[in-house]
Amino acid sequence: MSNISRRKFIITGLAVAAGASGIAVAAKVAQHHGLIPPDAGGLYGPGETLTYAAQRLLTRHSMAREFSRNEISENPFANEVDPLGDEFKRLQAASFADWRVTVDGMAARPASFSLAEIRSFPTSTQTTMIGCEEGWTYIAEWAGVPLSYILDRVGALPHVRYVVYRSIQPDWWESIDMADALHPQTLLAHRMNGNELPVPFGGPVRLRVPRQLGYKSVKYVNHLTLTNDLKPFGKGKGGANADGGYAWYAGI
Ligand SMILES: Nc1nc2c(c(=O)[nH]1)N[C@H]1C(S)=C(S)[C@@H](COP(=O)(O)O)O[C@H]1N2
Ligand SMILES: [Mo]
């Protein structure tokens, strides 16, 4: 199903649900299934709740579209980033040999992985499209370790509901639920188009979440936290972007 017809289908479904039984009932169903997103503003933040709930119920096993190698964009657009600080520059000067990704929170074996370790983990490759909410897209080949491998390795506890991921840029952090965290296309990406991931595109390590908009693919990731509650993070809406008014769930 194309994105547009899928959206139509969801909207029709929601209109039926809302019309037949009222938004309150639809919201109750969503809550029953654990499908209230953290930025819903409680049970009656119906817009965000219904988008998230509908997508989760209908598409939780779906894959982001993969493209062929000859569709890779020749001049991918690296979005502008705020200046990278001294700590980043120091790490960069040493070819990121000391870059680490710390994994803490609800894990049996919290860990801190060096870039060399991350590069030695099983690698998955995908050719997918990244799209910014501002309207541009590009297609690239990304390679990296599936986030599910990291979660397995640290012994994620059964009641983990979200993975919070942070960047060396303090204003950049996001979270995803377990449907996306365990999804085979969600990668801790360290390669792009056959090379090490370039700094403008988030190198040395970025989280690639191809089933959501570009802002969920945070660059310069150095910290993952496993949690079942997003309230203690930022303003409690699950990400810097959600705190700023964007949707926490940005499924495409
Ligand atoms: N650390 C960090 N991650 C970030 C951003 C950023 O400014 N800093 N921009 C986000 C936004 S808004 C988008 S659309 C994508 C852009 O990815 P690109 O530069 O590969 O095009 O990265 C996301 N990840
Ligand atoms: Mo963006």
Distance from the alpha carbon of residue 136 to the mean position of ligand 1, in angstroms? 12
Whether the Cβ atoms of residue 187 and residue 145 lie closer than 8 Å to each other: yes
Distance from the alpha carbon of residue 17 to the mean position of ligand 2, in angstroms? 32
pTM: 0.86
Question: What are the pLDDT digits (tens) for 132-148?
Answer: 999 999 999 999 999 99
Query: What is residue 28's predicted lDDT score, i.e. its pLDDT?
Result: 72
Shortest-distance Cα residue to atom 18 of ligand 1: 78
Query: What is residue 57's predicted lDDT score, i.e. its pLDDT?
Result: 74
Residues of the chain with pLDDT under 70: 1-26, 29, 42-46, 59-60
Using CB distances shorter than 6 Å, the residues near ligand 1 are 77-79, 81, 130, 132, 167, 169, 172, 201, 214-215, 217-220
Query: What is residue 45's predicted lDDT score, i.e. its pLDDT?
Result: 63
CA distance 115 to 197: 12
Query: What is residue 6's predicted lDDT score, i.e. its pLDDT?
Result: 46
Query: What is residue 179's predicted lDDT score, i.e. its pLDDT?
Result: 93
